[in-house]
């Protein structure tokens, strides 16, 4: 039964308070100034000279100067697909991105510069080493495969989420092989590399309780799940309620990517419907309006958007290429934990304007639970004032003109259809 908005807001507040202990990752317990870099794109696995880990390594100092606190790495394990999303031998950390030693070197370079490393964890499914079901290193029998997998080879329990036809769906109810195997992999293969955070792939494929269990066993400093479901623009609350339910299902041990805000930005930037960014209560319309500490916002990622240039890469659900900076003006000024996509910095030549927005966020002390006072949300214009720890930040996006009322506001940065001020 769907909760009322009032009940959902109350539950969200209670969830933050209840999760403020050991279960909630420190970076997501509220008042966090974390900014996440997605440190790869869809074509990163194809880089060879230098490979991706060494490409990333060369920019560590640059990214530290920009102010990133966390970097999200691609899936680290051996995979049947170059990109890493068909994991084969979990305990083998040499991949198309580079060798195990190169991975360790780049993770340590980031951590030595104060940037925490987040591993992309793909545990919904695995592929066999020579056939469909011979799961090796760690070795799992067909009892680790759900009994309703399309291979008709699984002897485990029924799946606890949506199926994934490109690989064998894993039975997370299996304690001896699966649960223990994943926890051992996290703690004895990935943690020694230097990873301290987790990004869970395809979380609609298994019950959220397992994500919470694995995050807690790992002691995740940061945790985020990819719950990407269809968005009906005429029923926004249902979409963000799914995100709330998933976070609750992890026991507040993981946040989630704010795909609701992503979809709303897509529509606003493509069609001028900036009014969609404010809900009936006057708060931001996405997940960040209900549970900002746990909402990880983004403009595009390796799946939704292009890679090195407009038009290439996955492009499954991208913002208009010419409006990328407008999107960043929104996510980098608002609560939640914002994400910046690597190719936008280096391939799209947006390093300077993105850096300026990040600097404004820091200067105002905007954090993951900063209050938002929306000033305008109409066709062609969205404007808001966000209260940081030290100052107020005002921002606008859209083609219509707007500036904050009163004295003391100083323009920090601006571009096509966006501007940011600090007072």
Q: Can you tell me which residue has the tokens 């995740």?
A: 220
Q: Which of 78, 149, 201, 326 is catalytic?
A: 201
Chain Cα centroid distance, residue 146: 27
pLDDT value for 338: 98
CA distances from 13 to 9, 29, 30, 54 (A): 6, 11, 11, 42
Q: Can you tell me which residue has the tokens 């031998």?
A: 89
Q: Can you tell me which residue has the tokens 């795909």?
A: 259
pLDDT band at 23 (very low <50, low <70, confident <90, very high): confident
CB 325 within 8 Å of CB 415: yes
Q: Catalytic site residue 83?
A: no
The sheet carrying 410-415 orders its strands as 372-378, 381-387, 392-397, 418-422, 410-415
pLDDT band at 10 (very low <50, low <70, confident <90, very high): very low
Q: What is the CA radius of gyration of the chain?
A: 21
Q: Per residue in 89-125, pLDDT tens?
A: 999 999 999 999 999 999 999 999 999 999 999 999 9
Q: Catalytic site residue 134?
A: no
What are 342's two structure tokens? 């690597």
Q: Tell me if residue 374 falls in helix, strand or coil.
A: strand
Going by C-beta distance under 8 Å and a sequence separation of 6 or more, which residues neighbour residue 366? 33, 333, 334, 335, 386, 388, 389, 393
Q: Which of 315, 333, 325, 318 is nearest to 270 (CA)?
A: 318
Instruction: State the average pLDDT for the chain.
Output: 94
Provide the Cα torsion 197, 75, 254, 391; round to 10°.
60
Q: Which of 134, 226, 267, 308 is catalytic?
A: 226
pLDDT value for 296: 98
The 8-class DSSP code of residue 277 comes to: G
Backbone angles phi, psi at 68, to 5 degrees: -70, 145
Return d(Cα 264, Cα 50) in angstroms, integer: 37
When the candidates are 3.20.20.80, 3.30.1490.20, 3.40.1010.10, 3.30.950.10, the CATH number that belongs to 26-369 is 3.20.20.80
Q: Enumerate the domain spans of the chain.
A: 26-369
pLDDT value for 12: 37
What are 222's two structure tokens? 């940061």
pLDDT value for 325: 98
pLDDT band at 384 (very low <50, low <70, confident <90, very high): very high
Q: Per residue in 33-85, pLDDT tens?
A: 999 999 999 999 999 999 999 999 999 999 999 999 999 999 999 999 999 99
Strand ranges in 269-391 using DSSP code E only, listed in sequence order? 295-297, 337-341, 372-378, 381-387
pLDDT value for 19: 33
């Amino acid at each position: 039964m769907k909760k009322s908005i009032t009940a959902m807001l109350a539950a969200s507040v209670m969830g933050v308070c209840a999760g403020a202990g050991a279960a909630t990752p420190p970076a997501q317990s509220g008042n966090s100034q974390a900014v996440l870099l997605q440190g790869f794109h869809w074509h990163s696995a194809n880089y060879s000279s230098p490979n991706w880990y060494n490409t990333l390594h060369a920019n560590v100092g640059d990214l530290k100067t920009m102010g990133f606190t966390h970097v999200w790495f691609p899936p680290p394990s051996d995979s049947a697909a170059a990109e890493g999303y068909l994991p084969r031998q979990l305990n083998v950390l040499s991949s198309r991105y580079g060798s195990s030693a190169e991975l360790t070197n780049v993770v340590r370079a980031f951590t030595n510069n104060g940037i925490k490393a987040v591993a992309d964890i793909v545990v919904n499914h695995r592929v066999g080493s020579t056939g469909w079901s011979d799961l090796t290193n760690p070795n799992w029998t067909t009892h680790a495969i759900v009994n309703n997998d399309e291979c008709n080879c699984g002897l485990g329990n029924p799946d606890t989420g949506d199926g994934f036809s490109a690989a064998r769906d894993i039975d997370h109810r299996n304690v001896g092989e699966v649960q223990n195997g994943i926890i051992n992999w996290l703690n004895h293969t990935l943690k020694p590399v230097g990873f301290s955070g987790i990004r869970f792939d395809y979380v609609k494929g298994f019950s959220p309780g397992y994500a919470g269990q694995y995050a807690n066993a790992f002691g995740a400093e940061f945790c985020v799940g990819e719950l990407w479901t269809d968005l009906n623009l005429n029923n926004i609350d249902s979409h963000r309620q799914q995100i709330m339910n998933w976070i609750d299902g992890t026991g507040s041990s993981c946040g989630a990517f704010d795909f609701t805000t992503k979809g709303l930005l897509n529509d606003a930037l493509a069609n001028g419907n900036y009014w969609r960014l404010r809900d009936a209560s006057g708060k931001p319309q996405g997940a960040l309006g209900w549970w900002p500490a746990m909402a990880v916002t983004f403009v595009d990622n390796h799946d939704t958007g292009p890679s090195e240039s407009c038009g290439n890469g996955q492009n499954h659900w991208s913002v208009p290429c010419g409006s990328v900076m407008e999107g960043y003006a929104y996510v980098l000024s608002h609560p939640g934990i914002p994400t910046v996509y690597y190719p936008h910095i280096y391939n799209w030549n947006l390093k300077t304007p993105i850096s300026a927005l990040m600097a404004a966020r820091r200067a105002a002390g905007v954090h993951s639970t900063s209050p938002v006072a929306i000033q305008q949300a109409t066709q062609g214009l969205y404007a808001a004032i966000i209260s940081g720890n030290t100052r107020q930040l005002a921002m606008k996006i859209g083609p219509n003109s707007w500036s904050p009322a009163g004295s003391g506001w100083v323009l920090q940065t601006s571009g096509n259809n966006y501007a940011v001020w600090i007072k």
